[in-house]
Amino acid sequence: MFSPYGNNNLLNIVKIKRHANLTYSFINHWMHICKQSSVISNKIEVSSTNELTDETQFCALEKSVTPLCRVPYERQLILKQQWTNTVCKELRSRLHNAKTVIRLPKVFPISSSPQINEYRNKDEFNFRPGIDGNPKTLGFFVSNPSNGSIYCVPAMKLINTKQSHKDIAQAFEVFVRKSELPVSYDHMDGGFWRGIIVRSNLKGDKMAIVVANPRGYTNDVMLDEQRRFNDFLQSININIQSLYFHPSLHTRSSKDSIFILVDGDKYIYEDLCSFKFRISPDSFFQINTLTAEVLYDELFKLISPTKTSTLLDLCSGTGTVSIIGSQHVQSCIGIESVAQAVNDAKETAKLNNISNCDFIEGKVEIVLKHVMDELSMASDLCTVLNPGRAGVHPKVINAIRNNRLINSLAYVSCKADSPITMKNLVELVVNNKKSRPFTLESIKPVDMFPHTKHCEIIFMFKR
């Protein structure tokens, strides 16, 4: 039988069937349904460590961040395929409870990641006390089951993190431990150093963003620390193409957007699907570049645009879907609420000499009606909704359902088991008297995050 996903995926199907005898006992051991924090659980059951020590801390971090790293990769794909089926069944159950009858969508086999180790192109390291009590320990947080305390564990043994990122983080920890300034765990605690974000591309170019709490510190102090850290990196021969300093007054640094270029280039660039993307300090970019190419290839296979199509890119971020889709359609319109993301999208379009993309700043539920009025004569409209992990506000779903021209919608989710995402999916399909519902035709999983319990899922809706 012909498969639109090619011979490689047929081989994957054969491999999955070959391991079918392992599936039930393996999945029953590793996966459970129903979890208070999410609608559907693909929680991994691992043996817990009663107390964190120098020897057990790295194992504890591994189990927290990469719980499947000791599972053969083919078995990881089996687990994620099974979890995708569970998502489908949960959605059907919820629609049944809402008295909406649906036919089962086609669930395609999961696409594997071309790179399963050291694939992360962005990591954020923060300070907390280490297991040895040193308050200036940089890494990721792990809870100690014996007393509930939070400790920081360095990322040196995580296999999904690039060695270059680990090297920069380790150098920053050494520098901060020599600094007279304290670290900051909270924006009101009087500390200064908060952490570091490291980004990189496939070529190996690196961007580092030092995050600090400026509250109570003069500009002279901050400028001096920036210079000292830059000199320190050069003294130990760590080459960073772009070094930024990010003074942040809030607990979440995304709430302010002051990025000071300390040294090097203003941007780094990444090649994706034959296009060149500009990456700034706060740009959104898929965490696994090679698998992102797989994701977008599968996405456009499912939506099947033509040269007469108009692509409506909702929650467009930095314009990745529009930029890649521009070669397949007549025109693209991206709607995004974050101003800097819209600017990045416009600049990336210019960088690639793309003239058929337009990006609009604003909330989807507000801007969509005006955009659809402009597209009232469009004969072929395909729509992509690619929100963050938390899904979108119900007003966005209502705006989509109320627009009669939107009859094809691809909803891309990296966390399909979140309560809001599941609610979004149900609201697209459920019957009501106000608007015509969609039908969920197919589901396509893509393993964007090897060694973790997560994957990207494309939900293809039609009406």
- Residue numbers belonging to the annotated binding site: 286, 336, 386
If you count DSSP H runs as helices and E runs as strands, how many of each does the chain have, helices first?
12, 17
| SS3 assignment, position 299 | helix
Mapping DSSP onto H, E and C, the string for 3-71 reads: CCCHHHHHHHHHHHHHCHHHHHHHHHHHCCCCECCECCCCCCCCCCCCCCCCCCHHHHHHHHHCCCCCC
| Residues 302, 460 contacting (CB under 8 angstroms) | yes
Binding-site sequence positions for S-adenosyl-L-methionine:
286, 336, 386
* First CA to last CA distance, the chain: 27
The catalytic residues are: 414
- Reading the block at residue 116, the tokens are 């399963």
| SS3 assignment, position 75 | helix
| SS3 assignment, position 354 | coil
Give the amino acid at 429: V
Phi-psi region of 5 (alpha: psi -120 to 50; beta: other; left: phi over 0): alpha
